[in-house]
Amino acid sequence: MDERAALTLIDSWLPLAGDDAAVLDDLVISTDMLHETTDFPEGTTRYTAGWRSVGASLSDIAAMGANATAAVAVYAAPSFEEPEIHDFIDGARAVCERVGAEYVGGDLDGHDEFTVATTVVGDTHEPVRRSGASPGETLCVTGTLGRSGAALELFDHEPERANDLFQFEPRVAAGRAIAAHAGAMMDSSDGLARSLHQLAAASDCGFDVAGSALPIDECVHEVATDELDVYELAVHFGEDFELVFTTDAVETVRSLSPTPITPIGTVTDDGVTLDGASLPDRGYSH
């Protein structure tokens, strides 16, 4: 069974699962695990690893339109070296600070492969779920697409720049601004294409995306090749950690959000298309 099939099963077993984070009354909670071989390319600093792993969970809190309150992380490695743990905690604290949350603790574990598990809690009175999109709404995305895909290509030759690109900003403030005006929302951790298929399934709708409207990051054009084209990096690769949402108040959310918001298409009755042609459900899968 692949990851998606397993998630579909879990979704049918657990009434509170199935969204970016679970919501209980006003409490919002999410957890994630990242591994050296699948998540941290060679050259990723411990600072970036701390930032990115805690950031991934903060992004799931943002995707509910919630405030992020606190984060904890498990740091598992073959050995505990002072500079490495220090850098990791600095990165974890920095990403929390960026979104007004606090890094409050965690756990250490001995493990052959460097592995990080994170948990973040937040709060909201008005969670935005994946299931609330309606045909006719505008489809929007925060920030730019493709930074992580481009970064992965840069680790060999420009590791410092790749680390910078890998330190994304979780869109908590934008999510708060969007919350009151969104139909549905999620983060694009598995890429825009797969996110749209997930939103479409949860909301029983479709999407038509305008390719020319996509806010593709400048660095994507720099690293794209014939084999690894711009759409592959910006639409399918994943780990953008941008918010993908639907709204009928584009100008309002644009005026409220500290992060740029780009309308990229419309909510339709069914099917996910890019410039009218079917957009395959291809993205990252564990």
Ligand X SMILES: Cc1ncc(C[n+]2csc(CCOP(=O)(O)O)c2C)c(N)n1
The residue (of 84 and 132) whose beta carbon lies closer to ligand ATP is: 132
Pairing assessment for the beta strands 102-110 and 138-142 based on DSSP bridges: unpaired
Residues 6+ apart with CB under 8 A from 241: 55, 56, 59, 148, 168, 170, 171, 187, 188, 189
130 among annotated binding-site residues: yes
Contacts with ligand ATP, residue ranges (CB under 6 A): 7, 10, 14, 17-20, 22, 32, 56, 60, 189-190
Report, in Å, the least distance between residue 26 CB and ligand ATP.
18
Residue nearest to ligand ATP (CB): 189
* Cβ neighbours for 110, distance < 8 A, ≥ 6 positions apart: 76, 77, 78
Q: Name the minimum Å distance from CB 117 to Mg ion.
A: 11
Residue 163 sits at φ, ψ, to 5 deg, of -60, -40
Q: Closest approach of Cβ 10 to ligand ATP, in Å?
A: 5
| Residue 187 assigned to a binding site | yes
Interface residues toward ligand X, by CB under 6 A: 32, 38-39, 41, 56, 152, 189-190, 237-239, 284
Shortest distance in whole angstroms from residue 38 CB to ligand X: 5
- Measured from the CB of residue 204, what is the shortest distance to ligand X in angstroms? 23
For ligand ATP, the closer CB: 118 or 257: 118
Kindly state the helix (H) or strand (E) to which residue 254 belongs, with its residue range.
helix 250-256
- Contacted by 237, from ligand X, ligand ATP, Mg ion, none: CB < 5 to 8 Å by type: ligand X
C-alpha torsion 84→237→233→268, nearest 10: -140
As beta bridge partners, residue 267 has 207
32 labeled part of a ligand binding site:
yes
From residue 179 to residue 198, the character string flagging contacts with Mg ion as x (rule: CB under 5 A) and all else as - is --------x-xx--------
190 is in an annotated binding site: yes
Asked whether the beta carbons of 91 and 47 are under 8 A apart, the reply is: yes
Has 107 been labeled as part of a binding site? yes
Joined together, the tokens standing for residue 37 give 């071989």
| Annotated binding-site residue? 39 | yes
Side-chain-side CA neighbours of 45 within 13 Å: the count stands at 21
Q: How far apart are the first and last CA of the chain?
A: 11
Q: Which is nearer to ligand X, 58 or 177 (CB)?
A: 58
**Which residues lie closer than 8 Å to 81 by C-beta, 6 or more apart?**
none
Binds 234, which of ligand ATP, ligand X, Mg ion, none (CB < 5 to 8 A, cut-off by type)? none
- CA–CA separation, 58 and 226 (whole Å): 34
User: How many Å apart are CA 184 and CA 44, to the nearest integer?
Assistant: 33
Residue whose CB is less far from ligand X, 12 or 38: 38
Least spacing, CB of residue 21 vs Mg ion, in Å: 8
Nearer to ligand X by C-beta: 39 or 153? 39
Mark the binding-site residues for substrate, compressed into ranges. Answer: 39, 239
Mark the binding-site residues for ATP, compressed into ranges. Answer: 106-107, 130, 189
